[in-house]
Chains A and B, each alone.
Chain A
Amino acid sequence: MFPGERVPISSLSSSIDVKARREAMEKLRQKFLELLKKVLNGEEPKMIIPKRTLSNTIYDKERKLLLLGSETFERNFLDMREARKFMQTVLMASIIYEALVNNEYPTIRDLYYRGKHTIRYRDHRGRVEEENTWDEQRESDAVLRDIEVYVGLLREDMLILSKEKGKVVGDMRIRSGDDVIDLSKMGHGAYAIEPTPDLIEFIDVNAEFVLVVEKDAVFQQLHRAGFWKKYKAILVTSAGQPDRATRRFVRRLNEELGLPVYILTDADPYGWYIYSVFKIGSITLSYESERLATPKAKFLGVSMTDIFGDPETGKKPYLTEAERKNFIIKAKKTDIKRAQELMNYEWFKTPKWMKEIDLFLKKQSKLEIEALTGKGLRFLMDTYLPTKIETQDFID
């Protein structure tokens, strides 16, 4: 090729991208051509879509997963209440399809902007009115989710990108696109987990477990201190609520490489929920749990008994009376409320979790992971974490 010659984007894309693209296009097209045929044959244009509601979210005790139930609803264009949503759904599908055809990688924000325009019409009183195809991204996001469950394709499969949030380091090599990346040679930085983790190929790995840290800052400290080298770990952070890519990536580490997964969060209801999202899935995205959840993930800490000890089992607290005084934060009203909500979720109704939540409600106090590094990074790295793992002091 000569300098300056125009290169079609597709030939620059990785081969794995091209394949994913073709498959998504085909599936999307099949589904919506069905609708189109109905219109041409004078049949009612309707989609049968699985319901994405709490009532249709089922906790599978066996597999320990939040799954989408079997309830469906009908989105019929000729139904007054569904007409607008129907329009939004086919509009969104057409934009995604066009992006696939044009070798693009839109974000959900792109999709929102591409589909947003004004419909001008005359109302029943003869006044000229204007209405947007959608007003807020909340609306376009909602129909995107409908399309995911209707077509059976996750957004990653349709090459829709979201912001990269999760990071990983460790003694491991992967293929992303057409490149091989050595995750042990990231310097002070880390590999940002790509939005389409299914397109990653694991080449080889030299590790014994995966440690997922809620807090980015703690991740960096452990990385620089050489935690993953010393303890043969793959170190991951979700930097707060985990995005889909991080969850899928962790799941693959567990499922395909057989590595145990330990999760380290703040000792508060939000930390617990982050853990449960990793482990069993979230309510809003229950339809993806099958692919995103890691049912075998374990809650390593920080637990209430780490802070206060457990007279029942004779467990000693990791913090002294004085340290507790310094590091503990008083729980807020919203924390209490959230804890009470969690108690109602099926998947928190285990003796260990009940003990954890009861203790929280009793003490009305919470703790950040940073409190442990406050006691000394070495304490976290060489005492707390190895002891917890060795003594299997985690909640399953």
Chain B
Amino acid sequence: MSSKSVGDTVEKFKSISPAEFFYRNKEIAGFSNPARALYQSVRELLENALDATDAHGILPDIEITITRDKSKSFVYRITVKDNGIGIPPHYVPDAFGRVLFSSKYVLRQTRGMFGLGAKMVVLYGQMTVGEPVEIITSPIGSRRVYAFKIMIDIKENKPIVLYKASWPKNSDWHGTIVRVAIEGDWGRARQRVIEYVRRTAIVTPYANIVMLTPDNEVYVYRRVTESLPPPPRETKPHPHGIDLEMLKMLIKSSDAKTLEEFLIKEFQGVGKVTAERFMRQYGFDPNRDPRTFTQEELEKLAKALKEYSEFRAPRADHLSPIGAELIKLGLQAILKPEFVEAVTRKPVVYEGHALIVEVGLAYGGAIPPSDHPILLRYANKIPLLYDEKSDVSWKVVAENIDWSYYGIQFPAPLAILVHVCGTKIPYKGVGKESIADVPVIESEIENGLRQVARALKAYLAKKRREEELQRKAITLIKYIPEVARSLAVFTRASEPKISPEELEKKLFELVKRRLPEFPTNIKDVKDVVLSIE
């Protein structure tokens, strides 16, 4: 069967660097083929640009430029420029050249949080085209501009700086420009990329986003409001969200001398009274130094922290919901509907982490009618485009809700926006493109949806009433000119002559008096009857 000798079967053991791991498994991070890679690259760079702006209270101005290489087919250059906080020059090489290096490893809601995105783009570009990434950045408050060209040493997972320069800044710009060359497939990625940017624009109505595509199309999403959602604040973990390993790390990094001090200092929702009650109930000594805990004691502590029900509920101020007003503005600006409504639900707890669901609804206007609602899904402000049908939102929108109850008959021009934000979101699968149907999230989405759908129902009922009023008025008014003209014919031979115009006015008044409620937008016969040329 085999000519191999026994010696060949001896396993060789070695470890690989994170860079090499992702180099070998690039599909995990969404770089499975040239089309998907192009889409994913634009996404990572755009998300970093937004994290560097709105999370820091800056109104984003972002330019995305995608160009096709003139001679090499399937080679594209992506440039993303922002007006964000910039990157301190000494961090730039690691930020772009060391996988799992990030400024976002804290409990705070941002788009990125794994220290991976930028590096995957760089890695993928390096593999397929071989050019270094170019970064130009000027941190906020800095007087200089810094430029880098960086590649990644895959075996060692560390940056190779090929070029480095800096010069004094003569404008007040701050922010970052990142430029990479990758192998891509614009033809097949086009629609998703455009849709991704459009959906991003819906939830960032406070941003200017401009995109130039390889087809030389320009997409411009203008800022429609100056108000930003409040930036998320960093927070301490909640006792219910903790596990044994995290507990060990916290103890290690804490300078607390006693258990009581440790609990009060390192957790949210734990004050002196709560800490004492907790320790009394489980029989912990408040004065013990947590560093002296045995493995067994640590396990007991971790279990008790998860179990104890008297802690205050997790806080949500490290989360950054978009807010009902901004959702409405965004839907209004991009979808141009006739009706919008949105709601931000109260925070709920999912496995010890706070979570907020927001639901928006847009109806009519420029929305094309379709056989089911158009679903716009977001997780931590990131649009989710793939795997729609397996998402919990789809289940709620398509299965749980009986739309006819809300006066909707499909095909209908209806769009539903669902935003789930939290520091822990139960994604389905590694692609992170859909959210699992966890009961608390499902019921939050459903309740939110019912809330906005009720508003739609009321709006439609009002509209129908108004239309009915108008229809009635128009049924009569449309004949007024004809009746006036005909009746005036009989006065020609007699004095005094009466003009059709005078009769029109009289008839209009009669109609107005006849209808108890008269539509306010009809002021004159001419608002209804148009002349025929």
Contacts and interface: CB of A to CB of B under 8 A. Distances in A.
Interface of A: 28-29, 32-33, 35-36, 39-40, 42, 44-45, 77-78, 80, 83-84, 86-87, 90-91, 93-94, 97-98, 101, 117-125, 128, 131, 133
B467 interface: yes
A101 B493 CA distance: 9
A86 to B, nearest CB: 7
Nearest to B475: A80
B493 A29 contact: yes
B511 A78 contact: yes
Interface in B452-480: 467-468, 470-472, 474-479
Interface stretch (B79-87, B98-106, B484-492): B484-492
A90 B483 contact: yes
B532 A118 contact: yes
B514 interface: yes
The winner among A118, A120, A125 for most chain B CB atoms within 10 A is A120
Query: Nearest 8 CB-CB pairs, A to B?
Result: A124-B470, A94-B486, A87-B479, A94-B489, A90-B486, A124-B471, A121-B478, A120-B530
Given A42-B509, A93-B490, 15 more contacts: A39-B503, A39-B507, A78-B476, A83-B479, A84-B479, A86-B483, A87-B482, A87-B486, A97-B490, A119-B479, A119-B482, A120-B529, A120-B532, A121-B529, A124-B468
Contact of B529 (A32, A97, A119, A133): A119
A55 to B, nearest CB: 27
B494 interface: yes
Nearest to A43: B510
A86 B482 CA distance: 10
A122 B527 contact: yes
A36 to B, nearest CB: 5
A117 B533 CA distance: 12
Contact of A83 (B470, B476, B488, B503): B476
A350 B133 CA distance: 110
B3 interface: no
A90 B477 CA distance: 15
B531 interface: yes
B440 interface: no
Contacts of B493: 29, 101
Contacts of A119: 478-479, 481-482, 529
A28 to B, nearest CB: 8
Given A33-B491, A120-B532, A121-B529, A40 B474 contact: no
The winner among A33, A118, A122 for most chain B CB atoms within 10 A is A122
Nearest to A118: B532
Nearest to B506: A39
B375 interface: no
Interface residues of B, number: 39
A33 B510 contact: no
B529 A94 contact: no
Contacts of B531: 120
Nearest to B533: A120
Interface of B: 467-468, 470-472, 474-479, 481-483, 485-494, 498, 503, 506-507, 509-511, 513-514, 527-532
14 contacts: A29-B493, A35-B487, A36-B490, A39-B487, A83-B476, A86-B479, A87-B479, A87-B482, A94-B490, A101-B492, A119-B529, A122-B527, A124-B470, A125-B467
B474 A124 contact: yes
Contacts of A28: 490
Given A32-B490, A87-B483, A94-B490, A122 B507 contact: no
Contact of B510 (A45, A91, A97, A98): A45
Contacts of A86: 479, 483
B510 A78 contact: yes
Nearest to B502: A40
Contacts of B529: 119-121
B389 to A, nearest CB: 34
The winner among A29, A93, A121 for most chain B CB atoms within 10 A is A121
B521 to A, nearest CB: 10
Contacts of B483: 45, 77, 86-87, 90-91
A123 B532 CA distance: 16
B471 A123 contact: yes
A98 B486 CA distance: 10
Contact of B476 (A29, A40, A77): A77
A167 to B, nearest CB: 37
Given A36-B491, A101-B493, A80 B532 contact: no
Nearest to A128: B530
A36 B472 contact: no
Contact of B489 (A80, A98, A118, A125): A98
The winner among B470, B474, B483, B507 for most chain A CB atoms within 10 A is B483
A129 to B, nearest CB: 9
Given A29-B493, A97-B489, A123-B474, A91 B514 contact: no
Contacts of A35: 487
Given A36-B487, A83-B475, A78 B514 contact: yes
A94 B492 CA distance: 11
Contacts of A121: 474, 477-478, 528-530
Nearest to A131: B478
A128 to B, nearest CB: 7
B473 to A, nearest CB: 8
A83 B471 CA distance: 13
B366 to A, nearest CB: 14
Contacts of A97: 489-490
Contacts of B492: 101
A42 B510 contact: yes
Contacts of A32: 487, 490
Contacts of A123: 471, 474
B225 to A, nearest CB: 28
Nearest to A44: B510
B248 to A, nearest CB: 67
B512 to A, nearest CB: 10
A124 B467 contact: yes
B465 to A, nearest CB: 11
Given A77-B507, A90-B483, A33 B494 contact: yes
Given A40-B506, A125-B467, A90 B487 contact: yes
Nearest to A119: B478
